[in-house]
Structure 1
Amino acid sequence: MLPWRVARRHRSNRREVALIGSGHIGAARLASLLGDVRSGRGPAYRELAAAVRVLVDDGRLPSGTRLPAERALAAELSLSRVTVTHAYGELRENGWADARQGSGTWVRLPDGPLRADGAWVPGPVRGGVIDLTHAAPPAPQLMAELVRRAMDRLDAELAGHGYGPDGLLALRERVADRFAARGLPTDPDQIVVTGGALHAIGTALGELAGPGDRVLVEHPTYPAVLDVIDDAGARPVPVALDRDPVQTALPRAARQTAARVAYLMADFQNPTGALLDDDARARLVERLARLDVVAIVDETFVDLDLRDGPPDGPRPVAAHAPRGGDVVTVGGVSKIAWGGLRLGWIRAAREPAARMRRRLARAQISPPVLEQLIGIEVLDALEDLRAERIGPLRAQRGRLVAEIAAEFPDWRVEVPDGGLMLWCDLGTEMSTALCAVAPRHGLSLAPGPRFGPGRSFEDRLRLPFTHPEPVLAEAVRRLRRAVDDVGAGPVSEARAELVV
């Protein structure tokens, strides 16, 4: 009897992996993900093994993927076959790979707490380890009271059957009112309720893009979006924004690539924290509309404005859309409230909103009622939640910036006006090596290349300031030891450059 076999091929400029039974990655593609593994900070085989571990740990190399033949990978990396053989042996010895005669070597996650393999989501963290991989703050104290209030509302819902593919009208009204208060008149029929902002992004992409379509993304960007685009069979087109402003770079890339969808974050972008002003938003959507490009705008961090004074941010990007239907806005409550509350929404023109609502109804019938009731309470108490969140986040941001300035004065840190993280320029390409050694110093880190295709951002590190101040101080001390471990060189006497 022949074993059950499934063959699929994902093609993108982010990765090309042929899945036949367990997956396989070609030598050229793996080499492009690994980059230069000969930094001289240690034996080459250990550096190669560490780089592969990082790829497995952050999901770019899914567990079960068969590694290339040793001779082929050695040729691509300009290493000896003996070096690759030792690296594969190191991976097997430490539980990161298995091998069988005649079947080759394939990577695996080591034994331990279950994790969502290949997904950009927080998972279990070993006791004593400080997680700086994900920007996931704990729930504010007010959340417990909001859940109790939602439970009081539940009695009225239990008399019915509980199915409602449109979502609760009271929730859609509150989301619509929130957009209207920010300068974008919205009808509840334009709101689609989803299971979180990422679910909203996936639903919108499923409606707007298909296999082979190009999707513009900021470079760097939110890692999970690259996965969602890849799962849809679409092709992410990274658009670097370090030289040209977004309102120029994205339209030019759309014209050059014939892309019809663009994903962006205008409010405290992840990971850079950048905030687009009203003028830039207006020029961006006007130019994209002329090219028939629909923008999916992610407002996940819109309520985390850390500037002094009352929040008075720019109007939503969709408020500047010349035809109204050129922008799809997604949002949720995971950052202002709690990540465990999987509730989000899509705001779109009525016709595409209706299509996306039908798409969701076929997949899940209706969103969960209790989560929506909690969402109603969250939106009713939004300003109280902000008051509880913003003060500590400002203090934590300041503490992390100060600790980095003291320990790493050569690093360049742009202090964001909002959001939950710092995007650090390390001044040298060490991000993957740093993430490889971090666990033995009690840290979990996300490598810079996870925020873009290929080997970009090897000189960058994203550090969230979602922990209490003493924990952040300890985290930087551990980070100091990890940097010393990879041999990054002596600490300069110069002060860190802080761009406020």
Structure 2
Amino acid sequence: MSTTLSATALSRLLGTWNNGTGPAYRELADVVRLLILDGRVALDSALPSERSLSAALGISRTTVTAAYSSLREQGFLSSGQGSRGKTRIPELTPFGRALYGPQPRPAEPFTAPGLTAPEGLIDLAYSALPASGEVVHRAFAAALTELPALLPGFGYDALGLRPLRQAIADRYSAAGAPTQAGQIMVTSGAQHALTIIIRTLAGRQDRVMVEHPSYPHALDAIRAAGCRAVPVAFTKSGWDLPAMESAMAQQKPKLAYLVPDFHNPTGMIMPDAQRRRLVRAAAAAGTVLVADETLRELNLDGVATTPLAAFGSTVVSIGSLSKSHWGGLRTGWIRASETMIQRFAAARTTLDLGGPVMEQLAAAHLVRALDEPLPALLETLRGNRAALLGLLAEHLPTWRTTHAAGGLSIWCRLPTPISTALTVLAPDFGVRLAARPRFGIGGAFERNLRVPFALPPDKLETAVLALRAAQDKLDSAPQLRRSLTHAPAVAIA
């Protein structure tokens, strides 16, 4: 079922959209297009009527009509009699060019916009891997034989199946953070875990300290809970511990969300000395540290670190099988004190009553044999990383890159503030990007772009060549670059 976007809601997303760099209708169409590409306006959403949007923006109805017509011509807005246009992504030719104008689309639903790029686009917006097929299949086959023993039960368990919780606890203990099964709660992925934590420990208007840049969906969860994000900027070398200590001491945030293991999007890893210092500062400020460890297993350089939870009881850890095995498993977890886990379980009932049993049985096998698929996976990712860095150096030599010690992406520093412009233009060249506002607060990082290396080298080469072509077009058309760059960043918090 499609949703309807009100004029007030779209006006808020648009922000200060009219910068006088071109015809008003074209600027309006460009900004709406960016919102659709970035996923901030969901696919299959009905846009406001021309009359209501013109009233909300204080512009003529003719301008809105022309902007909607432009979006229809470009394939970003459907047309139909008796109904308002609905947002969509245009069809592509085999060469990656959009087929503008009304085009028939397949009847596939877009239930989660942005997770899958339309056919023909190379998706660099999301960094994710295909399943470690044989390993996952074998785990489900084993789970199927174990399922009959559980069928007499009710099937509801807010904490998760004991064998899986024990397997996760054993992994933490082996890594240096002694853990009991009672300190683990199984969730439907890491995002589900973070939502439960925020709902339990923070209220509306409470402060949540975040790294800057940070993981986009974490910022979304913080915003959705009505909390106030307190950003602390990264330095060239990583975490700014004095600034984080100062922020906690002065603002007393209820929570601090961070990714210490192969930070998303920079790929950096926090040394143990900084972890110990951060935990002390959080304890002194009464701040609960939420450590997102979903990328911890993707340790490409073999850097040895200890889980943040080993340094103090004020840490709540989040983990997942999404990156090490497959996002389709939808299996994550929370590690905390047993008292805290009971609080999370009580809060969880407002969201769901537990996870699917079959997936948990399979996940228990995967966690117990977690190291099995990793050597081959890490070797592949090292090759992809080397290929991407080489391609960027060859074809985009003015881009500066960080060294990702692990994870799935490179954080690039662009020579000019063109990140939004590239995001708007890239689909015309067959590539889909994550716009830089998704990683920050208040429209930051216009000179940055995250480029994942989850794809094989041949796809990465095609993508980098497309990015070079898009940059060349912007370089040759300063007016176009200015127009697209001034598309507003939406404040995430």
What TM-score comes out, normalization by structure 1 length? 0.82
**In the TM superposition, what are the counterparts of 1:110-149 in structure 2 within 5 Å?**
112=105, 113-116=108-111, 122-123=115-116, 125-141=117-133, 142-149=135-142
Q: Distance in 2 between matches of 1:106 and 1:30?
A: 18
1:227–1:28 CA distance, 2 compared to 1 (3 A): closer
The alignment partner of 2:327 has SS state of coil
**In the TM superposition, what are the counterparts of 1:349-498 in structure 2 within 5 Å?**
349-487=337-475
| 1:108 partner letter | T
- Contact kept? 2:429, 2:469, Cα under 8 Å: yes
Q: 1:247 aligns with which of 241, 249, 257?
A: 241
- Contact kept? 2:77, 2:86, Cα under 8 Å: yes
1:295–1:257 CA distance, 2 compared to 1 (3 A): same
1:51 matched to 2:55: no
Q: Distance in 2 between matches of 1:238 and 1:107?
A: 35
Following superposition, the deviation at residue 203 of structure 1 comes to 0.5
Higher mean alpha-carbon deviation, 225-234 vs 182-191, is at: 225-234
Q: Distance in 1 between matches of 2:136 and 2:23?
A: 50
The alignment partner of 1:340 has SS state of helix
Q: Distance in 2 between matches of 1:28 and 1:370?
A: 43
- Contact kept? 1:56, 1:107, Cα under 8 Å: no
Higher mean alpha-carbon deviation, 57-66 vs 412-421, is at: 57-66
| 1:183 partner letter | G
Q: Which residue of 2 aligns with 1:192?
A: 185
The alignment partner of 1:364 has SS state of coil
| 2:29 partner letter | A
Bigger strand share: 1
Q: Distance in 1 between matches of 2:13 and 2:32?
A: 13
Following superposition, the deviation at residue 413 of structure 1 comes to 0.7
Q: Which residue of 1 aligns with 2:87?
A: 108
1:37–1:447 CA distance, 2 compared to 1 (3 A): farther
- Contact kept? 2:89, 2:118, Cα under 8 Å: no
Q: Which residue of 2 aligns with 1:12?
A: none
1:156–1:61 CA distance, 2 compared to 1 (3 A): same
1:260–1:161 CA distance, 2 compared to 1 (3 A): closer
The alignment partner of 1:156 has SS state of helix
1:48–1:480 CA distance, 2 compared to 1 (3 A): farther
Matched positions, count: 452
Following superposition, the deviation at residue 454 of structure 1 comes to 2.6
- Contact kept? 1:56, 1:108, Cα under 8 Å: yes
Q: Which residue of 1 aligns with 2:266?
A: 272
**In the TM superposition, what are the counterparts of 1:234-383 in structure 2 within 5 Å?**
234-242=227-235, 245-307=239-301, 311=302, 313-321=304-312, 324=313, 326-383=314-371
Higher mean alpha-carbon deviation, 357-366 vs 87-96, is at: 87-96
Following superposition, the deviation at residue 81 of structure 1 comes to 10
1:36–1:305 CA distance, 2 compared to 1 (3 A): farther
Following superposition, the deviation at residue 367 of structure 1 comes to 1.4
1:220 matched to 2:213: yes
Q: Which residue of 1 aligns with 2:6?
A: 22
What TM-score comes out, normalization by structure 2 length? 0.83
Q: Distance in 2 between matches of 1:256 and 1:106?
A: 48
Following superposition, the deviation at residue 50 of structure 1 comes to 2.3
The alignment partner of 1:423 has SS state of strand
Q: Which residue of 2 aligns with 1:8?
A: none
- Contact kept? 1:393, 1:466, Cα under 8 Å: yes
The alignment partner of 1:24 has SS state of helix
Q: Distance in 1 between matches of 2:12 and 2:137?
A: 51
| 2:309 partner letter | A
- Contact kept? 2:7, 2:53, Cα under 8 Å: no
Following superposition, the deviation at residue 162 of structure 1 comes to 2.6
- Contact kept? 1:254, 1:260, Cα under 8 Å: no
Higher mean alpha-carbon deviation, 478-487 vs 389-398, is at: 478-487
Q: 1:90 aligns with which of 70, 73, 80?
A: 70
Give unmatched runs, 5+ long, in structure 2: 91-104, 479-493
The alignment partner of 2:328 has SS state of coil
Q: Distance in 1 between matches of 2:46 and 2:201?
A: 31
Please give the per-residue CA displacement for 1:73-120, whole angstroms capped at 9, x wherever unaligned: 589xxxx998777545423544546999xx9x9983458553346x6x
Q: Distance in 2 between matches of 1:461 and 1:172?
A: 37
- Contact kept? 1:294, 1:327, Cα under 8 Å: yes
Q: Distance in 1 between matches of 2:13 and 2:251?
A: 23
Q: Distance in 1 between matches of 2:260 and 2:300?
A: 15
Following superposition, the deviation at residue 336 of structure 1 comes to 0.2
Following superposition, the deviation at residue 254 of structure 1 comes to 2.7
Q: Distance in 2 between matches of 1:82 and 1:412?
A: 44
Q: Distance in 1 between matches of 2:395 and 2:447?
A: 17
* CA-atom RMSD in angstroms: 3.1
Higher mean alpha-carbon deviation, 292-301 vs 81-90, is at: 81-90
The alignment partner of 2:334 has SS state of strand
| 1:212 partner letter | Q
- Contact kept? 1:51, 1:433, Cα under 8 Å: no
Please give the per-residue CA displacement for 1:169-201, whole angstroms capped at 9, x wherever unaligned: 111111111111111111110101100011001
- Contact kept? 1:396, 1:465, Cα under 8 Å: yes
Q: Distance in 1 between matches of 2:150 and 2:124?
A: 40
Give unmatched runs, 5+ long, in structure 1: 1-18, 491-500
Following superposition, the deviation at residue 266 of structure 1 comes to 0.3
Following superposition, the deviation at residue 145 of structure 1 comes to 2.1
Following superposition, the deviation at residue 382 of structure 1 comes to 1.0
The alignment partner of 2:445 has SS state of coil
